Amino acid sequence: MLAQQRQSAILELIRQRGGVRVSHLVSRFGVSDMTIRRDLEVLAERGLVDKVHGGATLAGPGSAEEPGFAAKSIRQQAEKRAIVERAAGLVEPGMAIALSAGTTTAALAARLADVRGLTVVTNSIPVADALYQNPRADQTVVLTGGIRTPSDALTGPVAEAAIAALNVDLLFLGVHGMSPRTGFTTPNLLEAAVNRRLIGAARRLVVLADHTKWETIGIATIAPLEDADLLITDSGLPPEGRRQIGEQVGELIVVDVD
C-alpha cells in the first residue's frame, strides 16, 4: 500500500471512530511505529487530525467556535438516542431535575414527557419546548431567563440568579468536549458559568457525552472529570478514553449503538 493510500485509510478510520491509537494502526497496516507517526504528522500538517499522546483524533473547530443548535442536532443521532435511553432510566416520578442546554439533553427532555410529577429546571429553550409540546398537568417546567447563545442556551446574571436559589436531585449536563487535562468544556464563557451554577444546585451530576466529545476542547472549563458522579457515553469511545475517564468519574456507562 502506498503512503498516500494508507494515510487516506487512516483518516477514514479516525473519522469513523473519532480517534485512533498508534499501536492499533501499526497492527492494522503492518508497518512500523515510525511510519504511522509520519503518516499522522502528514495528516496533522494538513489540518485533518490533531495529534494526541499515543495517537490522533479528528481535527476539531477552534476552542471558541460554537456551532448552532440546528447544526449539532443532526450529528451522532444514533449515539444520542442510545445515551438518552439509558439516561431516562435514572429519572423517577416526583423528582426535581435540571437539564443543561444541548441537543442530547433536548432529546432526553422529549423522552421524559410522560414522567408524572416531574419538575424540570433548564436554561435551554429547546428543552423547555420539548416538554411544552407534550404538556402534563402534573409536570412543572422552570425556564430561566437570560441572554440567548447560538446553542439556544440562556445565560448571564439573570439565568445564574434564577438557578442559585434552587435544589434538584439530578443534573443532566451536555458538554462540548471532555479531556483529562481540561475536564468538561464549552466554547461559551457565559454558558460555562451557568453550567457551574447548575452543578452547584444538583445532588448528583450526570454527564451525557457521545464519543466525539473525547479530546475536544472548548475555551471554558465547566468542571473537572472527577466532579461527574456518572458519565454516559457510547461504544465509539476508544479504549484509552474509557480507561482515562473511568479512572476519574464516579461511574462510567458505555452504551451500545444500534
Rounded Cα–Cα distance for residues 66 and 172 (Å): 20
Domain annotation for the chain: domains and CATH numbers: 3-58 (1.10.10.10), 70-255 (3.40.50.1360)
Residues near 165 by beta carbon (within 8 Å), at least 6 away in sequence: none
Residue 255: the pLDDT is 96
Residue 68: the pLDDT is 55
pLDDT over 60 at 74, yes or no: no
Q: Classify 208 as helix, strand or coil.
A: strand
Over range 59-65, report the average pLDDT: 56
| pTM of the complete model | 0.74
What is the overall mean pLDDT for the chain?
Answer: 89
| Element at 232 (helix H, strand E) | strand 230-234
Rounded Cα–Cα distance for residues 190 and 183 (Å): 17
- Angle at which helices 77-88 and 103-111 pack, to 10 degrees? 50
- Give the other-Cβ count within 10 Å of 170's Cβ: 21
Check: CB of residue 96 under 8 Å from CB of residue 168: yes
pLDDT digits (tens, 9 = 90+) for 119-161: 999 999 999 999 998 889 999 999 999 999 878 899 999 999 9
Residue 43: the pLDDT is 87
pLDDT digits (tens, 9 = 90+) for 227-243: 999 999 999 999 999 99
Rounded Cα–Cα distance for residues 4 and 93 (Å): 56
Confidence of residue 32 (pLDDT cuts 50, 70, 90): very high
